[in-house]
Amino acid sequence: MRRLLMLFTEPFAFLGRGTIQYVGSMGASAIFLVLALLKAFRKKQLPKIVQQLYYIGARSTLIILLVGLFTGMVLGLQSYHALVQFGAQGALGTLVALSLVRELGPVLTAIMITARAGSATTAEIGSLRISEQIDALDTMRVDPLRYLISPRITASIISFPLLTAVFDIIGILGGYISGVLLLGANAGTYLYRVQASVEMKDITDGFIKAIVFAVIVSTVCCFEGYFTHMRTDSHGAKAVGLSTTSAVVLSCVLILIADYVVTSILI
Amino acid sequence: MEPFPLIEFKNVTKRFDGRTVLDNVNLRIYEGQITTIIGLSGAGKSVLLKHIIGLIQPDEGTVCLRGKPLSGVRKKEIADTVKQMSYMFQGNALFDSMTVYENIALPLQETTDLSREEIDRRVRTRIEQTELGDSADKFPSELSGGMQKRAALARALVTDPRIVLFDEPTSGQDPVRKNAILSMIAQYQRRFGFTAILVSHEIPDVYFISNRILALYDRTIVFQGAPEDLEKFDHPFMDEVIHSLEGLQEELTGLHSRRQFKVLYQSQMKRKALDQFYVLVVFTLEGLDAIASGMGHEAAQEAIRCMGLAIEKHFGPIGGVSTRLGINEFITMLPYSDMAEAEAILNNFAADIQREDIVNILNGARRRGGEGQCVEIGIKAGLAQGRPTVEVGPVMNAAVEQQKEIARLRCIPDW
């Protein structure tokens, strides 16, 4: 009888456990984020933030340039062939610029930084955790949140919008290369449409998204690495690997969910 | 009257996932001493140590520092208390992306407002004191295990802590290096005057440097006191832990353990009249470094073993009590001999060792380390006379000062 009862209750218990765990980790990561942000304003933080700006921001520029260029080019290519069917190839500049500035720029920039810097952040912090280097910081009275986490989150919040701007500009240039130089659309029309259709609100909305994504990506990646030792499914190097994977997957999923939510609020 | 304890555990209990690791632990640690927590692997020694520095909080009970509980007080007070402590991790926990210099400088850079010049001066001083001058710009992965330990020790000491906690400082080291690390801890403790708390299962090596032993057995502290008192302790811990671990040590040298030597020395001294003399002989096996670097550590261990056997063969039958003193040093106490008699015994020993035993030592090393290797070894010995009223330390130092070469051998490559 008891077993039969458990058969009915177990799915609910499972659901309940999962929900409690999820809400708990959401709360923990929110506290983690707030504490890290508060510590950004302590003294001696600037050199660490600059160092992370170089790593997360400057060293991601090349990949952002490449992805932005080809995204713009393929967007120009596909849009031109679609628009030409309606004789609307003059709207190519509008389509490329608005797609990039409003959506593709922030989203693809965030995903690319997640892949390049976010994964490395999780792996690095996870390795520090399992080799007791974070405990060593604690014993030296060096606050790990201040020393390791705060500069990374702050640098991400600064880097993401800047890299998004780079992505947007190079993407529009990519659209110009494929649409104008390769397929023969009118150069003046393309540039005029870009200038005329992109408003300040589009740019600020894109930047707001970039900042939201920066907070999500940096918090998720740092949190996963920082609590690698708390994983129940694995330990040691394997735990670092799994934390890195889940940080990247979770960041990408959350970027897309947040994109929808932010867009629906801003639109 | 017993002094006031620096650290005190009162009925501390800790559980992980329902499993009790520490059960009602009560202990006292006193200032300026080297206290060693001994017990088998997995007994909860490191957990106990982490309670002291606040990395782990007890589920029940209290940890007190200078009578003040570490739990239930404000965060700032805990931080001020923990400020006096340093922790040397079992795996060193050096930052692998930083050089040795950067590792040592980190706590000063992050927790003080010292100028760059002052930080540099302090770091350079510690680097010099720990003999890491040539390795300051190297990364931890480029250092040997012993050098990494020294770097971790330099980092632990750079903030001038009053208490240093060592979590299994000799783990993963060969016997030669183990002795070197323990000697280093004792030497620095004397030099800097901090309170050292060690966690170790290197029995009996730790007895020689420890003022006080805490025995962790079956999740609780079953003994706390001086190393000599542990000998009289009647408890299953002695059979299950101490004797089994000591047996392993004696296998290497065939000599008495240091603790046994200490106990035998003290019992001999109690029996002697205050004006009666005894003689200490200190032997040094030279060339052990060359054996270790040329033939490997197994060869070095075999050389140590052969040297121990030779000493025991000559001095054991005439009542000599011998033990290993350092990496390549041995000591023999001749409780019933005066200086003239001891000199005659030593001359006989010197003749025998030059004729036969030194060849055995080198052959033993060559058997373990490769026939093609050629090294030069030498044996020095020195005598000194003492009385029960005089401390043993100066007598030992006098014997070391009197040391002269009694045998030397250089192998021939095609030997």
Are B205 and B330 part of one and the same domain?
Answer: no
Could you report the per-residue pLDDT of B35-67, keeping only the tens digit for each? 999 887 777 888 888 888 887 888 999 988 888
Confidence of residue A154 (pLDDT cuts 50, 70, 90): very high
Are B240 and B262 part of one and the same domain?
Answer: no
Are B263 and B236 part of one and the same domain?
Answer: no
Contact: A141, B95; criterion CB under 8 Å? no
CATH number at residue B242: 3.40.50.300
Are B239 and B262 part of one and the same domain?
Answer: no
Could you report the per-residue pLDDT of A44-89, keeping only the tens digit for each? 889 999 999 999 999 999 999 999 999 999 999 999 999 988 888 8
Instruction: Provide, as residue numbers in chain A, all residues whose Cβ is less than 8 Å from the Cβ of B155.
Output: 140
3-state helix, strand, coil in chain A (%, to 5): 90, 0, 10
Between CA A101 and CA A169 the distance in angstroms is 9
Which one has a higher pLDDT value, A103 or B263?
A103
Last residue of a domain, one of B250, B278, B300: B250
Could you report the per-residue pLDDT of B138-195, keeping only the tens digit for each? 999 998 877 888 899 889 888 888 899 998 887 766 666 677 777 778 878 888 888 9
pLDDT on residue B244: 60
Last residue of a domain, one of B250, B265, B286: B250
Are B228 and B184 part of one and the same domain?
Answer: yes
Mean pLDDT, range A198-209, rounded to an integer: 93
Pick from B128, B82, B85: nearest CA to B104: B128
pLDDT on residue B177: 66
Check residue B399 and give left, alpha or beta (phi > 0: left; psi -120 to 50: alpha). alpha
Chain B interface test: which of A35, A51, A132 (most B C-beta within 10 Å) = A132
Are B160 and B307 part of one and the same domain?
Answer: no
Check residue B296 and give left, alpha or beta (phi > 0: left; psi -120 to 50: alpha). left
- Nearest-Cα residue of chain A relative to residue B17: A232
Q: Is B95 on the interface with A (CB under 8 A)?
A: yes
Q: Is B317 part of any domain?
A: yes
Q: Is B271 part of any domain?
A: yes
The DSSP bridge pattern shows strands B7-16 and B19-29 to be antiparallel
CATH number at residue B341: 3.30.70.270
Q: Is B2 part of any domain?
A: no
pLDDT on residue A227: 93
pLDDT on residue A102: 93
Per-residue pLDDT at B201 exceeds 90: no
Q: Is B159 on the interface with A (CB under 8 A)?
A: yes
Per-residue pLDDT at B413 exceeds 60: no
Per-residue pLDDT at A22 exceeds 70: yes
Are B272 and B354 part of one and the same domain?
Answer: yes
Contact: B107, A147; criterion CB under 8 Å? no
Contact: B55, A142; criterion CB under 8 Å? no
Question: ∠ CA B109-B111-B113 to the nearest 5 degrees?
Answer: 70
Q: Is B49 on the interface with A (CB under 8 A)?
A: no
The ranges assigned to domains in chain A are 50-266
Last residue of a domain, one of B201, B231, B250: B250
pLDDT on residue B396: 84
Domain count, chain B: 2
Cα-Cα-Cα-Cα torsion B198, B199, B202, B206, nearest 10 degrees, comes to 20
Are B275 and B230 part of one and the same domain?
Answer: no
Are B362 and B271 part of one and the same domain?
Answer: yes
Q: Is B107 on the interface with A (CB under 8 A)?
A: yes
Alpha-carbon distances of B393 from A55, B208, B280, rounded to whole Å? 57, 12, 11
Question: Which A residues, 153 through 212, put their C-beta within 8 Å of a C-beta on chain B?
Answer: none
Query: CB count, 10 Å around CB of B332?
Result: 28
pLDDT on residue B105: 94
Smallest CA–CA distance, residue B300 to chain A, in Å, is: 31
Domain that holds residue B283: 255-410
Are B120 and B201 part of one and the same domain?
Answer: yes
Which one has a higher pLDDT value, B364 or B385?
B385
Are B244 and B264 part of one and the same domain?
Answer: no
Alpha-carbon distances of B381 from A197, B135, B254, B339, rounded to whole Å? 95, 34, 19, 14
Q: Is A51 on the interface with B (CB under 8 A)?
A: no
Contact: B53, A44; criterion CB under 8 Å? no
Are B190 and B302 part of one and the same domain?
Answer: no
| Beta carbon pairs, A and B, within 8 Å | 45
pLDDT on residue B101: 95
